Amino acid sequence: DIQMTQSPSSLSASVGDRVTVTCRASQSISSFLNWYQEKPGKAPKLLIYAASSLQSGVPSRFSGSGSGTDFTLTISSLQPEDFATYYCQQSFSTPRTFGQGTKVEI
Amino acid sequence: QVQLQESGPGLVRPSETLSLTCTVSGGSINSYYWSWIRQPPGKGLEWIGYIYYSGSTNYNPSLKNRVTMSVDTSKNQFSLKLTSVTAADTAVYYCARQGLLGVESSYYYYGMDVWGQGTTVTVSS
């Protein structure tokens, strides 16, 4: 199985901050990397696919980059509705695997 | 707009079988892969497996011997069965569509683009 490791596990930030979350794969996954946002009591929401493509309807302040084993999710200017947990997930091979999550707190 | 809804018992006894159904509305089940994902309390997401509308399946090896997925295209539903459950199977169970989001240089990029709201299943006597 491909292991996905996110850092940090949690972070504190303020509205307007630039926030970066990192995800590392245990082997090269090319650009087969997705990012999801999860809020308490809600299903995860797809933000980014193919490492850097913005899913339809997702605000442009979200962006993704990277390839191979190292990936980054960036929120350019944190908004109140962005406080949530973020997960990376590889779609390179099965079983699909997720990172452990990064909680973005106020 | 495609919507998914999980249904099934919220309480299952240890050693018994967990059975859930996901109903697809607002679109067809055809031509897609359909996934099950779970999230134990306070923990991260675990992919259980997926089923293609034609019935072919791919399961997580960590659960493979206990998992069966099926699809009923006439009802626009797909289902999950997990046998011999223990307390470790207590989780929120989600169904999701695995959409083909992009194609580039013969590479196919998939992501779980539509999710059900999730259903809590507790394993307890």
Per residue in A19-46, pLDDT (tens digit) is 999 999 999 999 999 999 999 999 999 9
Task: Please state, in angstroms and rounded to a whole number, the distance separating the CA atoms of residues A102 and A35.
Answer: 11
Q: What percentage of chain B reaches a pLDDT higher than 70?
A: 100
Looking at the predicted structure, is the pLDDT value of residue B105 above 90? no
Predicted local distance difference test score (pLDDT) of residue B106: 84
Cβ of A95 within 8 Å of Cβ of B62? The answer is: yes
Mutate to test the interface with A, among B59, B60, B109 (most CBs of A within 10 A): B109
Residues in chain A with CB shorter than 8 Å from the CB of B35 are: 96
Confidence of residue B74 (pLDDT cuts 50, 70, 90): very high
Among B125, B55, B40, CA closest to B88 = B40
- CA B20 remoteness from chain centre: 8
Residue B35 scores a pLDDT above 80 = yes
Number of inter-chain CB pairs under 8 A, A vs B: 70
Mean pLDDT (chain B, rounded): 96
Cβ-proximal residues to A75 (8 Å cutoff; 6+ apart), any chain: A18, A19, A20, A61, A62, A82, A104
User: Best residue in B101, B117, B119 to probe A by mutation, most A CBs within 10 Å?
Assistant: B101
pLDDT at B48: 98
User: B80 pLDDT band (50/70/90 cuts)?
Assistant: very high
* Low-confidence spans in chain A with pLDDT less than 70: none
At residue B107, the pLDDT reads 87
| pLDDT confidence of residue B43 | 94
The set of long-range contacts for A26-30, using a CB threshold of 8 Å and a minimum separation of 24, is A26/A2, A26/A69, A27/A2, A27/A69, A28/A68, A28/A69, A29/A2, A29/A68, A29/A69, A29/A90, A29/A92, A29/A93, A30/A67, A30/A68, A30/A92, A30/B107
Whether A46 sits inside 8 A of B111 (CB atoms) is yes
